[in-house]
Amino acid sequence: MNNKIALFSFISREIQRFTRVYVQSLFSPWINAVLYIFIFGYVVGSRIDSIAGIKYIAFVLPGILMMNIISASFQQTAFSLYFKRFAKYIEEYLVAPLSNFELLTGHIIGGVTRALFVGTGIYVIAILFHAASIVHPLWFFFYSVTVSIIFALVGVFIGLWADNFEQLNILTTFIIMPFTYLGGMFNSVSMLPEKIQWFMKVNPFFYFVDGLRFSMTGVQESNMIAGIGIITFCILGLGGLVWYLFKIGWRIRG
């Protein structure tokens, strides 16, 4: 059965969901990005010569971009799925002729689309601040999309698991924010004392931020093969897990 229209309809509804609350979903991360770029790029950055041979703003920007891409894709799928369960309109999708795979795909594309909307906006802001560059466009696209997919999948899991609004925010507070900040968003590995450099190297967020930094500046501190391996493992592992949860109807089908 050809379900192109159904899937397209699902995705357009997901897009409508976040554009309906554009102040929260789009303007808020863009305004935050302006503040980050201004403070870390100009106020603080003007007092720092360079890091790894590039201007501080060029070093920090990929981290700001990645943090927002991660947040946007995660929030889209987690909140969308949770609200569908909370208000019971998940049933509208369950009675429609959509497979579990299509339901999952629709959510993921919704999450990636929001992340790309947010990321594009921040990139345009960075251009206005003369802070943007892309050295390897294909790698830029690769890291933006694959990391969005990972956190859209994480969001799906949390959207299925959460029983209240507090639980929806647990991951952002305890994992996403601290691990991004500690994943080389503002500093290079060499700026840390040697004894704790290992912590940054085992933090997967370091590979996400550093990969995007490589695509934008050409500077790389992490092992690229390891980074791609981590991304592939996360997508396949999380994708398999949430597909299985959809298949057994965990917390959505009685």
Partner 1 sequence: MNALEIKNFTKKYENFVAVDNLSLEIKKGEFFGFLGANGAGKTTTIHCITGINTITDGSIKVFGIDVDKEYKKARTKVGLSPQEFNIDIFLTIEKILWYNGGLFNMKKEEREKRIEELLKILELETHRKKQFRQLSGGLKRRVMLARALMHDPDLLILDEPTAGVDVELRHELWEYLKKINAAGKTILLTSHYLEEVELLCNRIAIIDNGKIIAVGDKSEFVKDGKSLEKKYLELTQKTKSS
Residues in contact with partner 1 by the rule CB under 8 A: 1-6, 8-10, 12-13, 16, 20, 87-99, 249, 253-254
Q: Between residues 24 and 173, which has the closer beta carbon with respect to partner 1? A: 24
**Closest distance of CB 146 from partner 1, Å:** 28
Q: Between residues 110 and 227, which has the closer beta carbon with respect to partner 1? A: 110
How many CB atoms are located within 10 Å of the residue 169 CB? Answer: 16
Give the integer Cα–Cα distance in Å for 168 and 156: 11
**Closest distance of CB 179 from partner 1, Å:** 33
Tell me the H-state helices in 129-203: 137-161, 165-171, 177-180, 197-201
Q: Between residues 39 and 92, which has the closer beta carbon with respect to partner 1? A: 92
How far is residue 217 from each of residues 8, 63, 143, 190, 211, measured CA to CA in Å?
36, 12, 14, 18, 10
Q: Between residues 92 and 163, which has the closer beta carbon with respect to partner 1? A: 92
CA 132 from centroid of its chain's CA atoms = 19
Under a CB-based contact definition with an 8 Å cutoff, are residues 208 and 233 in contact?
Answer: no
Length of the chain: 254
**Closest distance of CB 80 from partner 1, Å:** 10
**Closest distance of CB 109 from partner 1, Å:** 15
Give the integer Cα–Cα distance in Å for 119 and 107: 18
Give the integer Cα–Cα distance in Å for 62 and 133: 10
**Closest distance of CB 91 from partner 1, Å:** 4
Q: Between residues 33 and 98, which has the closer beta carbon with respect to partner 1? A: 98
Q: Between residues 32 and 99, which has the closer beta carbon with respect to partner 1? A: 99
Q: Between residues 17 and 136, which has the closer beta carbon with respect to partner 1? A: 17
Under a CB-based contact definition with an 8 Å cutoff, are residues 203 and 182 in contact?
Answer: yes
Under a CB-based contact definition with an 8 Å cutoff, are residues 205 and 69 in contact?
Answer: no
**Closest distance of CB 88 from partner 1, Å:** 4
Give the integer Cα–Cα distance in Å for 253 and 71: 28
**Closest distance of CB 246 from partner 1, Å:** 12
Under a CB-based contact definition with an 8 Å cutoff, are residues 215 and 146 in contact?
Answer: no
**Three-state SS at 99:** coil
